[in-house]
Amino acid sequence: MASLKVSGEDWWRGAVIYQVYPRSFQDTDDDGIGDLKGVTRRLTHIASLGVDAIWLSPFFTSPQADMGYDVSDYCDVDPMFGTLSDFDRMLAEAHRLGLKVIIDQVISHTSDRHPWFVDSRSSRTNSKADWYVWADPKPDGTAPNNWLSIFGGPAWEWDGVRKQYYMHNFLGSQPDLNFHTPDVQDAVLDAARFWLDRGVDGFRLDTVNFYFHDRHLRDNPPLVPDPDATSNDAPDVNPYGMQDHRYDKSQPENVAFLRRFRALLDGYEGRMTVGEVGDGARSLKTVAAYTGGGDKLNMCYTFDLLGPDFTATHIRRCVENFQKSVTDGWVCWAFSNHDVTRHVSRFAQSEAERESVARLAITLLSSLRGSICLYQGEELGLPEAELAFEDLRDPYGIRFWPSYKGRDGCRTPMAWEEAAPNAGFTGGKPWLPVPPEHRPLAVDVQAAEADTVLGHYRATLAFRKSQPALRDGAMRFLDSNSDLLAFVREKDGKRLLFVFNLTREPQEFLAPDALKPVELPGYAARLEAGSIRLAGLSAFCGTF
């Protein structure tokens, strides 16, 4: 794959993005919930990592049924997070520190308390009657079709006022907008324009392939399992994963809307979009459609690396599948985010190896071709929190407990100070408990020493930034045994060889001629008698 020149307009290409989950980042008013002033206070920590941008999860006005992913006003800040002035100060400080700011846009659905939905449900003839997906029941009163909600049960909720069902891909209090209605598209683009005018640098588009539904409301067929699939639509305890979601999302009309969204951004300088694509075995095909041609999304991420598999075979298959499917688009890789179990807990086989896994994972992620996204706390090597049922706040976890524990375990508050109340997150009662095992991993503990996971993140990201080939250079894999991941990153005639041993046993790799070791943060080069010797869970870098 050819190398692409990075310009100021393309700052996002190869960028490192740090995701902030505001309600768990830093609380400044002791109500137990993080806020925008807290984000501003901790921006120096984020900047010290050497990242290029932050992505803020939703802070908009919301009843918080789904922790802010149920928006009731797209153009204001929820009081629990502060005010628009707080946002402006945060934005200005981020820009002063050289950080771009990306915000979530949750436009596939709204809260049922959004004024649009209040109007829409009031009658079948009001001005917003077709702004949401309404349908008559079947003659026997049941839902219009077999579509399911990701959060459990049918994707249809009965409304007694209109005497119709409305569609919801998530909670019943999150009705889906009807993007077949031009006024809906205009309204959500106006909301994006509001934030662009305020100075944000880009958008993370939540569930970007969910905007359109099949006009004919055809039933989804059952899923035929694909043994080569690298991601799933839902955990296996959820019947949502039993359907082939052919008609309730990823509809062809979405491409034209994404062109409209891109045209809006192109009216501003240096703005970008990254889309979240959850589409099972079709994810890469969807990414190709949404990022190809240079007139839609700048990049997307999928769930391919957000599962339990941390092996050379899996990672190579994911990257090669992307390279084959998406020839002129761009990807954003991540191992963790606010929706999945923290990756050190997914990948580590014991508590003792969590730190080694945390170090190796960021080294590997930083060497892949694409942009990368980090999730708050992973730079500390935080493991997934084990929470009691009575502590859960995530409706997804509450619905499927105990077979699926939901997303609260990765959303617990940041650990800033080991000895402070609630690890320095809040002076009040935190909205989720602070796990005691996170305290020894707090920022103040790790910042005091160089040889920590935090120190390794800083050194690794500095290494990535120092190597132009890692930002946007070509990437090709080398043959190896299935235990090793070996590839070359190349740009302007400079070649870097990376070899990763993701097993727990020592491995060897035959070195190319004239290979010279390159100092890779945290790993001692071992090149002996023409072979690269790697301990378990280790990495090597060289040039030739």
Instruction: Give catalytic residue positions.
Output: 206, 276
Half-sphere exposure of 193 (CA within 13 A, CB side): 11
CB distance 205 to 274 below 8 Å: yes
For residue 249, how many other CB atoms are within 10 A of its CB?
26
Query: At residue 377, what are phi and psi to the nearest 5 degrees?
Result: 95, -20
Nearest to 35 by CA among 46, 43, 25, 44: 25
Buried-exposed string 404-417: b where 16+ CB fall within 10 A, e elsewhere: ebbbbbbbbbbbbe
Measured distance CA(365)–CA(94) in Å, rounded: 24
Provide the Cα torsion 412, 415, 416, 419; round to 10°: 130
Nearest to 488 by CA among 500, 480, 472, 477: 477
What 3-state DSSP class applies to 421? Answer: helix
CB distance 209 to 375 below 8 Å: no
Owner of token pair 């890779």: 520
Owner of token pair 């768990």: 24
Half-sphere exposure of 415 (CA within 13 A, CB side): 27
Query: At residue 42, what are phi and psi to the nearest 5 degrees?
Result: -100, 10
Residue 502 amino acid letter: L
